[in-house]
Structure 1
Amino acid sequence: MTVTLTDTAPPSTTDLLTGVLLGPEFRREHGFWQRLISTEPFRRPAGGTPEERLELAYDRLRILNLSLDSGARLASDPRALAALHAWLGPVDPALTTVAGIHYNLFLGSLLDHDRVGRRDLSDYLTMRRIGTFLCTEVAHGNNAAAMETTATYDRERDGFVLHTPNAGAQKFMPNTSPAGGAKSGLVAARLVADGLDHGVRLFLVPLTDDTQALPGIRVRRLPARMGSPVDHCLTSFDRLFLTRDALLGSGEESGDQGEFRTGPGDRRRRFLTSIGRVTPGRVSMSACAAGSARAALAVAVRYGGHRLISGTRGAPPVPVDAHRTHHGPLASAMATVFAMTLLYRRTQERWEARTDEDGRTEAARLVDVAKAWITWRAREVIVESRERCGAQALLENNGMTELVTGVEGAITAEGDNIALYTKAAADMLFAAEPRGDGGGPDRLGHPGDLSDPRFLRRLLASVQEIWFARARERAMRAPEAADALGRWNAASGPALRGVEAFAYRQAAEAYAEARAALPEGAARDRLGELERLFATEWVARNSGDLLAAGLLSGDQIDELAETGEELIAAVAAHARELADSFALPEALLADWPIAGPGYADAYDDPQGPWTVPPADAR
């Protein structure tokens, strides 16, 4: 799809790059959120205790809800949910967390399982009650198959008895306290009827009123965690009776009063259907991490341009970003941030375009891998950006500390990254993968051109092949007596490296698609420089393996280093323009002092000696 804008004036380079990053309809998809975070209720407050910041997050959630034309429409639109995360993440990570839970996991699941509109959702649409989601248990983490919370069918009362059988079955980390107002939750529990296990399903459960947990429910706040202040809790149930309509079903349940039975079907499939909102949640985590990385990098680029340091002897001061040691890491980060954002959009489009079971499986795998890769890369970019801003970026009022800690939550949320990589690695280990889209040789006899993005992408595909080949070889070499775990342990190290290479390859292909959508000109040149820098640095990191495989020559290894330096200089020369393409509202940046040239004014002291005239001048 060609990037087009609706302005009558020819689009600028910045506008074209914004369209590449945020999509050809970025004003429609993102304009509401850009305007919302520029309004006074979402401006950065001064200080505040964790409890005050938590109260502010819930207050903002209600303001957000009042600003919507329809909460149900937001919950039904994965693109809007992702945009919410991308823009609110840098502003208020606590708000982003509770909003994502309410609109996606809670309200979205209710809408998905109630397509005929039988259930009254008015309490949740008006936020008389805030929704939360209770799946993970203390002792089981990502292992939902071992879930122990039960919902046992009670024939006499024609309902379910929800119970937590032991300490390990307590629901872990949902925001179930009365903070922010009355709460209801979707609780994942093992459905038991007539002694038979019907698998894990979701149940709608009122949890608290405005002040305390309801009878039969125990809620305890967890210790303070790193990052934004969310009311994470342990939640348990003491033989709590639920009416029959508490079960979120897919129409498979039947039976008259005092009867309950389910139709034939795979229990795992039913469970995955029940928690289907986790996948859009992972897309949203990618959007949130990419948005936070863009914000941190934009601040670092601006700060580097107006933070002056002493020049060489006798020379005037120069901006700190005049130094290669400063702008080099930020140029590499810029190439990574564009890659993260483009991969997120590629993933979103692939998920939306799925048409059959095979397509769904491949799209879901890409969602999982992209979520892990993007959130890990976001942590690297945010930490690098923070360091480039020195001690100033350690102060909360400069906006970066919340981003540093907030990305850790995204790495764990909606499935721990290593678990997502592991599942993808197991699925891909013996799957045949195409070698790429051409542009290079199979072996050294006809070397490719390192300035050709097609050749670089073929090298990226080769890195993926190399690591999966090693993983397969190690699995085959495992002793005959080795069990499945032993064989997996032998293969898992290189297999995870293969998944990482797969993510880099997907990001490089997203770059190529985006560049092809741009018209000839400066914007296409800028994106091409970023694309080549991204691919060249990854190839350089794997150059030893590519050399050993005969896919690179010794001369090309030397050329990689020189090419990388040239591309860093090219990207750094346009860093501010590239950062401006992130389209961050000036109101947001104004709340972070180091983002502006007058950052020192934030430390002015009206009682300082420079403001008081000397005694002899009075």
Structure 2
Amino acid sequence: MSSGSPAVSISRAGTDAAAHPDLLRLVYAGSFHKLHDEPRQAMLDSIFDPRENLTAAQACDLAYERADHLRKRLAIPADIAHDPLRLFAITEWACLLDGTTQAVLSIHYAVCLGSILAHGRERTDLTDHLEALGSMRSVGLYLATELGYGNNVVALETEAVYDHATGEFILRTPRPQAQKFMPNTVPGAFPKLAVVMARLKVAGTDEGVFPFIVRISDRDGPRPGIRVRSLPEKPGLSLDNGLTSFDDVRLPRRALLSGAIGTLRPDGVFEATVRGRQSRFLRAIEPIATGRVVLTAALLACARAAVFVAVRYACQRRTFAPGRQDVPIIEYRSHQRELFGALATAYVMTSLVNETKRQFTAPHKEPGEHRLDDLIAVAKAVATWSASDVIHTCRERCGAQGMFSVNRIADYVGIAQGVVTAEGDNVVILTKAATHLMQRSSGASSAPGQGDLLDPYYLLDLLAHRETSLRNDTSSRFGNRMVHEDTRFDAWNQVVNPVLDFARTHGARISLQWFLRDIETLSEDASVRQALRRLAVLYGLMEIHREAGWFLARGAVTASQVTSLPALIDQTCADILPDAVMLAEGFGITNDVLRTAIADDYVAYFA
């Protein structure tokens, strides 16, 4: 513990100071005033004031009202999915105050309207649906996952059989496992219109899984032939998720959203323009990518808010200090290691997600080390797992105060639990992305040699060494297993966990690499760049410390370097301390938006 006067000024902890422009530029990729200030201002509206003692149903109704309020307040167009950076900004700010509102917006705009526009943009026969969704006279849903088929949606069983005699599709749930699981289909104040993924069958031929537009409910409840049952309550999220089945529901011909994938001709013959059911399915679910980025960015925004609250609270909350008068808990090195580790992770993951957004919205795909869908999967898995860890750490470091909804962080815990599963379970999508990344050629891996553990670029080289080594070793091991195992699955199952280790290391490496790049683009204030470099060092040290045994066993670091890691982490935290408040406020989040008790004068709040 340091001696003498406090090393950090806490006079600003009870005020909403302006974020440093360099930090604001880094966190929001230069788009704060263009894209983020308007939704931030909307969060000040009274409809977002905290509400106590609501039932799950009341909280859900409020979330839909808040979503509709934002639609009107921000003049959100039906085709905002084609302006994804604005959609990301709106949902990031909404998630800070109501994760259920964010979920409603994401499903409605990113995947429901996004699917209709992607596969039916030029179709005038869909105008009434687009108008109903655009005005939120109907809320948009997306039904893909089934009770028996989660991440294996390509194998779903819900079927839409074409009846050429009537020109209709017959939508049915063939058995209990095929019930649609988790979409927010429970009837409420808003009628609901869904994109339903179903297996198209024409003249006895299975043409693969396609999207269909289906009216789920109107103001009188579920439509005929549609059965909806509420699912159990979920801590932290009040979305009205349901279990949905179809009993020979007849759909008009226009319900099929086949887009450029194929055409159902007037003579009742399906003419495919994309070969193979797997390829058709992948084209059909492309709008899911927008939803994945939305969720990733929104949860990371919650992680930044959690750090903001926890740092400001730590500057106020005082405790005993042997040999001194009481001190703010932020002066304890044990508190710093966890809280500043969370701060560093939030910044580093922000660079990962910002680069993912940039590539997602680039007009032309640039050559690089990733396929776009693989980058989105890596970012979703690595960033949301990291955000979840950050949120849990901040909750704990705020003690009992972190348990109250008014202080936001406890609610973020529930949001995190949903996001790591939604739009593709993290383990599943990361494993799939890793199979593609493993196929990239890489040379022999050599350790970077002994260097300075306080040099962020040396830490980056160590991560790159581990990444390449894991790729090479696992590829070789998989090849050997293919010779000895009965099936490809048996061989793959022997290496799947090392593959995930490789993918996580890859995610950590590119995140740190892009964060360092982003730091170098800042030009206004050298002291800010230095503060950010310390965060980069802390993140790198924590990653090396986590896998210190691996690095030591491979000769990438020495025993003395390994034993020095804890002290170096503590020293880096001490160096970060004077800038901690500035860095936390650099997220551009203010307590007039969050309305927490503990990010301002918490004693006055409870007086």
Determine the C-alpha separation between the residues in 2 that align with 1:561 and 1:325: 11
Determine the C-alpha separation between the residues in 1 that align with 2:18 and 2:95: 27
Which of 482-491 and 354-363 deviates more? 354-363
Q: Secondary structure at the match of 1:224?
A: coil
For normalisation by structure 1, the TM-score amounts to 0.90
Aligned pair partner of 1:508 in 503, 509, 512: 512
Pairing 1:543–2:553 present: no
Pairing 1:151–2:154 present: no
Aligned pair partner of 1:462 in 439, 460, 465: 465
Aligned pair partner of 1:44 in 27, 50, 62: 50
The Cα shift of 1:191 comes to: 0.3
The Cα shift of 1:261 comes to: 3.7
State the match for 1:246 in structure 2.
Answer: 255
Determine the C-alpha separation between the residues in 2 that align with 1:506 and 1:264: 34
Determine the C-alpha separation between the residues in 2 that align with 1:559 and 1:585: 38
Aligned pair partner of 1:452 in 455, 461, 466: 455
The Cα shift of 1:356 comes to: 5.6
Pairing 1:486–2:487 present: no
Determine the C-alpha separation between the residues in 1 that align with 2:312 and 2:384: 23
Asked whether the 8 Å contact 1:150–1:190 carries over to 2, the reply is yes
Asked whether the 8 Å contact 1:181–1:211 carries over to 2, the reply is no
Determine the C-alpha separation between the residues in 2 that align with 1:70 and 1:291: 20
Residues 252-302 of structure 1: CA distance to partner in whole angstroms, max 9, x if unpaired? 304225554434523222212211111111111210111010111111111
Residues 381-424 of structure 1: CA distance to partner in whole angstroms, max 9, x if unpaired? 11110111111211222222211111100000100001012112
Higher relative contact order (CA 8 A, sep 6+): 2
Asked whether the 8 Å contact 1:193–1:261 carries over to 2, the reply is no
Aligned pair partner of 1:88 in 69, 91, 94: 94
Map 1:185-264; keep pairs closer than 5 Å. Answer: 185-251=194-260, 252-256=262-266, 258-263=268-273
Identity %: 33
Aligned pair partner of 1:99 in 102, 105, 119: 105
Name segments (4+ residues, structure 1) moved above 6 Å. Answer: 357-361
Determine the C-alpha separation between the residues in 1 that align with 2:360 and 2:368: 8
State the match for 1:393 in structure 2.
Answer: 402
Determine the C-alpha separation between the residues in 1 that align with 2:291 and 2:232: 25
State the match for 1:607 in structure 2.
Answer: none
Which of 472-481 and 159-168 deviates more? 472-481
Aligned pair partner of 1:268 in 278, 301, 321: 278
Pairing 1:328–2:329 present: no
Determine the C-alpha separation between the residues in 2 that align with 1:481 and 1:19: 52
CA 1:199/1:443 → structure 2, altered by over 3 Å: closer, same or farther? closer
Aligned pair partner of 1:570 in 571, 575, 581: 575
Pairing 1:586–2:594 present: no
Paired letter, 2:531: R
Asked whether the 8 Å contact 2:81–2:290 carries over to 1, the reply is no
Aligned pair partner of 1:344 in 335, 353, 358: 353
State the match for 1:414 in structure 2.
Answer: 423
Q: Secondary structure at the match of 1:248?
A: coil
Asked whether the 8 Å contact 1:82–1:288 carries over to 2, the reply is yes
Paired letter, 2:117: L
Asked whether the 8 Å contact 1:425–1:492 carries over to 2, the reply is no
Paired letter, 2:147: V
Q: Secondary structure at the match of 1:316?
A: strand
CA 1:332/1:360 → structure 2, altered by over 3 Å: closer, same or farther? closer
Map 1:123-142; keep pairs closer than 5 Å. Answer: 123-142=132-151
Asked whether the 8 Å contact 1:463–1:542 carries over to 2, the reply is no
Asked whether the 8 Å contact 2:79–2:113 carries over to 1, the reply is no
The Cα shift of 1:18 comes to: 1.3
Determine the C-alpha separation between the residues in 2 that align with 1:302 and 1:564: 22
Residues 175-233 of structure 1: CA distance to partner in whole angstroms, max 9, x if unpaired? 11222310010000000001111110000011101231010111111111232111000
CA 1:316/1:566 → structure 2, altered by over 3 Å: closer, same or farther? closer
The Cα shift of 1:600 comes to: 2.9
Asked whether the 8 Å contact 2:39–2:74 carries over to 1, the reply is no
Asked whether the 8 Å contact 1:155–1:259 carries over to 2, the reply is no
Determine the C-alpha separation between the residues in 2 that align with 1:327 and 1:141: 40
Determine the C-alpha separation between the residues in 2 that align with 1:246 and 1:298: 47
Paired letter, 2:320: S
Paired letter, 1:402: D
The Cα shift of 1:435 comes to: 8.1
- List alignment gaps of at least 5 residues for structure 2: 1-16
Pairing 1:14–2:20 present: yes
Determine the C-alpha separation between the residues in 1 that align with 2:355 and 2:308: 23
The Cα shift of 1:468 comes to: 2.4
Q: Secondary structure at the match of 2:198?
A: strand
The Cα shift of 1:565 comes to: 2.0
Asked whether the 8 Å contact 1:13–1:523 carries over to 2, the reply is no
Which of 388-397 and 234-243 deviates more? 388-397
Determine the C-alpha separation between the residues in 1 that align with 2:204 and 2:123: 32
Determine the C-alpha separation between the residues in 1 that align with 2:497 and 2:101: 37
Asked whether the 8 Å contact 1:132–1:185 carries over to 2, the reply is yes
For normalisation by structure 2, the TM-score amounts to 0.92
CA 1:434/1:341 → structure 2, altered by over 3 Å: closer, same or farther? farther
Determine the C-alpha separation between the residues in 2 that align with 1:75 and 1:473: 42
What RMSD over aligned residues (CA atoms) do the two structures have, in Å?
Answer: 2.1
Pairing 1:557–2:562 present: yes
Residues 283-341 of structure 1: CA distance to partner in whole angstroms, max 9, x if unpaired? 1121011101011111111111111223335x432211121111221011111000111
CA 1:357/1:396 → structure 2, altered by over 3 Å: closer, same or farther? closer
Q: Secondary structure at the match of 1:245?
A: helix
Map 1:266-345; keep pairs closer than 5 Å. Answer: 266-313=276-323, 315-345=324-354
Asked whether the 8 Å contact 2:40–2:593 carries over to 1, the reply is no
Q: Secondary structure at the match of 1:241?
A: strand
Asked whether the 8 Å contact 1:398–1:592 carries over to 2, the reply is yes
The Cα shift of 1:117 comes to: 4.8
State the match for 1:371 in structure 2.
Answer: 380
Determine the C-alpha separation between the residues in 1 that align with 2:465 and 2:569: 20
The Cα shift of 1:71 comes to: 2.0
Paired letter, 1:468: R
CA 1:394/1:451 → structure 2, altered by over 3 Å: closer, same or farther? closer
- List alignment gaps of at least 5 residues for structure 1: 1-10, 437-441, 605-618
Q: Secondary structure at the match of 1:205?
A: strand
Determine the C-alpha separation between the residues in 2 that align with 1:469 and 1:561: 30
